[in-house]
A = this chain, B = another copy of it.
Amino acid sequence: MAKRTDLPDDRDVKTDLDPEDWDDFRRQAHRMLDDMVSFLETLRDRPAWQPVPDWVKGELTAGIPRGPTDLGDVYRDFQTLILPYGNGNLHPAFHGWVHGAGTPTGMLADMLAAGLNANLGGRDHAAIYVERQVIDWAIDIFGFPKGASGLLVNGTSMANLIALLVARAKHLGLAVREQGLGEAGAKLVAYTSAAAHGCIAKAMDMAGFGTAALRHIAVDRDQRIDLDALSRAVAEDRARGLTPFLLVGTAGTVDTGAFDSLEGLADIAAQQSMWFHVDGAFGALAVMAPELRSLVDGLSRADSLAFDFHKWLHVPYDCGCVLVRDGALHHQTFESAPAYLARAERGTGAGAPWFCDFGPDLSRGFRALKVWFTLRQFGIDRLGAAMVHDCRLAAYLAARIAAEPELELLAPVALNIVCFRFKAEVPDLNRLNADLVIDVQERGIAVPSTTRLGGALAIRIAIVSHRTVEADIDRLVEAVLETGRRLAG
C-alpha cells in the first residue's frame, strides 16, 4: 500500500480544476452558448443528416490525452468533428425513429442541471423535490392513484425492467430478492403482443426468466393484440401447470403506432390475477391531447406504466419514467439500507424515501430539471397540441400516398407513424425501397427509416418532431417518387 508520507506536497500549486482565469472562461462559455443557439436557429439550412466522413472517424481514434489542451481547442474540435454529424433528430425532416427533437429550453435546463451537479440517489436537497413533483405530475396525467410511485430513468427499456421486477416480487413475494427465482420462478410466464418492443423480451432475459417465458401473442390487421388468442394462451399455460404473472400491453407500437385495447387487457389481467403493465414509450402521452385520449382508455387501470419524456415531449436525451400503482411494493422491491447510506431525521441524510430505493441506480443525475422546465414553460395543453399536429401530418401523408398510384400504404395510420412503399415492376421491390431510403438519407433531404411488415420492406415515417410542417411532408413525397423512379430504372 502506498505510503501516505510519500505523497507530494502541493500546497503552493493550483490543485483545483476551476478556471485559472474566470473572465476568460466566461467569454469562452458565452461563445459556445451563442454558437449553439445559432445552430438551433438555423437547423433548416443544413442537411437533415450526413454521413460521418472517414477523416472525422480517424480524428476520433486519437489516443489517451496525457497532457492538457486549451478549452477553446477542445471546443473547436467539437465544432468540426461532432456538431455537423448528428443523429438528424433535431431537423424538421427527421422521421426515422421515434426520437424527440429536443428544444432550446431543454438545452438550458441541462446546462443548469450540470452546473448544479446533483446526485438524486437520495439525501435531502431541492432536486429531490423537483423529481417528486415531476412524478406527481405524471401520476396525475395518467390517472394513477395517490400512493403510486415513480422514478426517472434512462428510458422505457429500463422502466420496463423495473416494472417487471416489481411484478416478480408481487407474484413470488419479496423473498425472491434473497432466494432468487427458484422453482416457483421457473413456472412464471408473461404475455405481450407480436408487435411489442424487443426490450420486453430483454427484460425477461435480464431478470433470469429467459425470453422463452414471454409469449408473443398474435396481432390483428391493425397490429393490436388478439384478445381471444391471449385468453387461449393463458388457459393453455395454466393447463400445463405454468403461472401467468405478467401481461404487457403496448400504447403505440414501434412499427406502426398501434394501440392494444388496454380496457380488454385490463379485464383479462384482473380475471387472471396477472400484473398489468403498459409499455407506453411514446404513445401513452396521447392522454395529454383530448383528440387522442381515447386511444389509451384503460391505461389508468394498469399496475405500472413505462414511458419516455425524451420522445414526444422533446426533453433532451435521456429521460424515461416508470410509474407503479402500488408504491409501497415498488419501494420494497428495491430498498436496501447499508450503514454508509444511513437515513436521518435531519441533516443531509434526511429526505427519505430515497430514489435509490426505487430502482437499480444509486448515482442519478438531475434529469427531472429538463422535464420540469419543459412542462412548466409550455404547459401540457400546448405539448398535447404538438402531438396532435404530428398526427395531422401523418394523416396528410397518408392522404398524399393514397393519391399517388406509385405509392402503397402498408399499415393503417393510428397515430403518427406511416408505413408505405414505392411500387414498381422490379425483381426485388424490398431492395428497391431499402436503397431508396438510404439514397434519401445520404442526400440529406430527409431521414425515413425502414421496417418489415408481413414480409414487405416498408418505408417508415415516424412524425415526432415539433418542427415538421406540411411542406416537409410534400418534399418527402416528391423525393420518394423521384428516387423510386430513378432506382426502378
* A81 proximal to B (CB < 8 A): yes
Inter-subunit contact A62/B133 (CB<8 Å): yes
Q: Which 7 A-B pairs have the closest CB atoms?
A: A208-B208, A180-B210, A155-B363, A110-B114, A102-B117, A4-B395, A347-B438
The residue that A348 contacts in the complex, of B126, B210, B449, with Cβ under 8 A, is: B449
Q: Known contacts A4-B395, A17-B466, A211-B177: does B104 contact A117 (CB below 8 Å)?
A: no
The total of chain A residues at the interface (CB under 8 A) is 203
* A residues 328-383 in Cβ contact with B at 8 Å: 334, 336, 338-342, 344, 346-351, 360-366, 369-370, 372-373, 375-383
* A339 close to B255 (CB less than 8 A): yes
Contact A56 B126 (CB under 8 A): yes
A221 CB to closest chain B CB (Å) equals 13
Which one, B69, B111, B157, B259, contacts A360 given CB within 8 A?
B157
Q: In angstroms, how far is the closest chain B Cβ from the Cβ of A454?
A: 11
Minimal Cβ-Cβ distance residue in B for A11 = B470
Interface string of A308-345 (1 = CB under 8 A from B): 10100010111010000000000000101011111010
Q: Is residue A485 contacting chain B, with contact meaning CB distance below 8 A?
A: no
Q: Which residues of B contact A362 (CB under 8 A)?
A: 155, 157, 199
Say whether B361 contacts A60, CB under 8 Å: no
Closest residue of chain B to A253 (Cβ to Cβ) is B340
Compute how far the CA of A114 lies from the CA of B346 in the bound complex, rounded to whole angstroms: 35
* Chain B contacts for A70, CB-based, 8 A: 377
Query: What are 26 residue pairs bridging A and B, where the CB atoms are less than 8 Å apart in the complex?
Result: A1-B294, A8-B388, A17-B466, A18-B104, A18-B467, A39-B115, A49-B125, A56-B129, A66-B381, A68-B382, A77-B376, A78-B373, A82-B369, A85-B125, A99-B119, A113-B316, A114-B316, A118-B317, A155-B363, A161-B206, A198-B338, A208-B208, A208-B209, A254-B338, A318-B365, A320-B363
A363 touching B4 by the CB < 8 A rule?
no
A119 to chain B, nearest CB (A): 5
Minimum CB–CB distance for A350 against chain B, Å? 8
Return A126 CB to nearest CB of chain B, in Å.
4
Interface residue? A226 (CB, 8 A)? no
**CB of A157 to closest CB in B, whole Å:** 5
Given contacts A69-B379, A115-B107, A129-B60, contact A18 B4 (CB under 8 A): no
Kindly name the residue among A182, A201, A363, A441 whose own CB sees the greatest number of chain B CB atoms within 10 A: A363
**Cα-based distance from A2 to B392 in the complex (angstroms):** 11
Q: Interface digits, A77-121 against B, CB 8 Å rule (1 contact, 0 not)?
A: 110011111111110000011011111111111111111111110
Q: Which residue of B lies closest to A102 (CB)?
A: B117
Q: Does A67 have its Cβ within 8 Å of any Cβ on chain B?
A: yes
A206→B182 CA distance, assembly (Å): 13
Residues of B within 8 A of A363 (CB): 154-157, 308, 310, 317-318, 320
Chain B residues with CB under 8 A of A64: 137, 140-141, 375, 380
Encode A124-149 as 1/0 by CB contact (under 8 A) with B: 11110110110011001100000000
A207 on the B face (CB < 8 A) = yes
Residue A219 interfacial (CB < 8 Å): no
Is A32 interfacial (CB 8 A cutoff)?
A: yes
- Kindly report which residue of chain B lies nearest to residue A311, judged by CB atoms: B363
Q: Does A398 reach chain B (CB closer than 8 Å)? A: yes
> Does A123 lie at the interface of the complex (its beta carbon under 8 Å from any beta carbon of B)?
yes
Known: A255-B339, A391-B4. A37 touches B25 (CB 8 A): yes
Q: Which of A6, A86, A362 counts the most B-chain CB atoms under 10 A from its CB? A: A362
B201 lies within 8 A of A336 (CB): yes
Residues of B within 8 A of A364 (CB): 154-155, 317-318
Any B CB within 8 A of the CB of A179: yes
Residue A230, interface by CB 8 Å: no
Within 8 A of B (CB), among A53-73: 56-57, 60-71
Inter-chain contact A126/B81, CB cutoff 8 Å: yes
- What is the CB-to-nearest-CB distance from A145 to chain B, in angstroms, rounded to a whole number? 15
Cβ of B17 and Cβ of A395 under 8 Å apart? Answer: no
B375 touches A4 (CB 8 A): no
Q: A119-B318, A294-B2, A361-B318 are in contact. Are A348 and B96 (CB under 8 A)?
A: yes
Question: Do the beta carbons of A346 and B438 come within 8 Å of each other?
Answer: yes
Give the docked Cα–Cα distance between A209 and B201 (Å): 18
CB distance from A474 to the nearest CB of B (A): 13
What 1/0 mask marks residues of chain A from 379 to 417 whose CB sits below 8 Å from any chain B CB?
111110110110110110010000000000000011000
CA distance A37 to B450 in the complex (A): 45
